[in-house]
Structure 1
Amino acid sequence: MRLPSARPSPREYRPQSRNGRSHHPSGTKSKDQDIPEHNHVAVILKEPLYHFLFAGLLVFLVFWLSTDSQNDIVISQAEVQRMSTMWESQWRRPPSKDELQRIIDLRIREEVLAREAITRGLIENDSVVRRRLAQKIENFESDVASMAEPSDETLIPYFESNLDRYEIPAVVMFRHHYFSSDRRGAAALADAEREISTLIAIPTDQRELMGDTFHEGHDFEASLPRLARVFGDDFALALEDSITTASIGTVVGPIPSPYGAHIVELQHYVPKHLPALTSIRDQVLTDWRLSQVENTKDRFYTSIRDKYRVTVAGPSD
């Protein structure tokens, strides 16, 4: 009886190729055999789990570094010099060593408390702080405009487009004879009309005051706007009309006012006029710079406004 020949167990059986290398029974390579050992790092880097862990580690490092830097307070030499200069401008002398140290300590105290307030969210919904921050960023953006030095070719168009701002109003010099409605009642105007012919007949250098005492005095040299504030608008307008038709030295009136009636002796008159740009250049320059600052602020606001979605809740909301 023939015994069956011994065959290798499946674990031991490995078909041999012609070159003597064994093959996997299924004809395929294992995962470990497919990727060389030195490429295992590449496999790890392809795994989403490792991506997540790496991203978390990166976020933690960024947060840790930023938190650490936020707790650093650096007072630069330029800042120390600025504080020293401000002290000197106020007290007319440089600060002593101890005084400078106190200034620095106060600056550090302010910075520490301010940062802690921000950390605790105390600036939220604070209209004062919010308004100050808005002013600060506007001023930061407009600092260059406030220091601009334009040429006359730039200032002239601005000056010509704002002539009414620089026009010097007419100035009139006169003496008035006052007839008080408080003292004379309805007869004040009639008394003034009766006395005007007498006054005209007297030579200018021999005339004396007639009527009553006026609380603001009797001799004036003022612009028409100021006269309107003293005597009222109707008086100033009537006086201006009289000036256009009468000559200097003429007696005009009586002109009514809220206080009574006035006989006016015209002494001098300077019509309204526009000064030359050269005589008021500093004022025009200041106004031009202010306008540039406002324009810069408006342009800056317009450039950032569209970054924000604004919702204004209505009454029903």
Structure 2
Amino acid sequence: MNKPLRWLRHPVLHFVLIGVALYGASLLWSPSVPEQPPAQREPVVISAARIETMQADFTQRWGTRPTPEQLSALIAQAVDEELLYREARLLALDFEDSSVRRRLVEKMRAVSDRPGRSPDELVREAHALGLDDDIVIRRLLMEKMRLVLAQDPMAPPLTETDLRDYLHRHRDRFEQPAELTFSHIFLSKSAHGADLEGDAQTMLTQLRARSTPLSVALEWSDPFLLGQQIRAYSQNRLTARFGKSFAEQVFTLQPGNWSPPIASPYGLHLVWVEEKTAPRLPDLATVWRQVAEGAQKARADAQLAQGMTALRKRYEIRIDGRTDPSARATALTSPLRP
């Protein structure tokens, strides 16, 4: 390696540059820093030709032209990607990036007719030829810029209160479903044949008339593969084992009485519900990791959105020769569907 350039690879220098990048990004959302006028940066222009290409690509992928709302989202996404790429360049996020370097070396080796040159030489020539303006490199830099914007070095650590608040605000994601524990007397089709329904009604009458203890009643059951007690089953789990109709009927029962005969694919069942629990949130300790990850991602997403809003204010945005406020909408991060 060229000795004068060896210092460029020093870890201390990389650490400093990362700090500079984070500091530069932090200026985007710092209320104490005056806004930089858009005129100091080149406008972001989305031409009519590019919009037509977006529409054609969308049509080819989904088989229909985008709606006005979908087209606005496509334009907003294109604007955001251009902003991310430009800021990544300004913050030199490509400096000594191993993925960017590898991409440039690969491109140069594909087009060069001079074998034996070092990777450093290939990278320098690639920059000189403008080969660093590449779709793969653009994507790498945009993702790095998103990561920079999503970080807030001044944010305090998440507290238990923060996690409990997140758990309750997203209870639909963590809530444990209602569960049922029940015992049942099983009457099989093969054992009872044509008398199946009559035998089930006769047995039910005897159970209710004699107030037969549960332990005794279960001795009347035909053998059943899953046993006579079904413990802590959700409705979905019960559906998977016994079928939808059986699960729906059993979940309408209340504890403390024998049910009428309920059909399943196996035969008939007389059901005694022992316990029924309502939907509930788990203890935070049991889902701590998932909640912490979700809360941290929500914080990062909010920080990224704030950073993108600040970025859009720093550029003049032109859509087909005119400023289009709809282009300042937050771009979609998931695939667009018709």
**What TM-score, normalized to structure 2?**
0.46
Instruction: Tell which structure's C-alpha radius of gyration is larger.
Output: 1
**What TM-score, normalized to structure 1?**
0.49
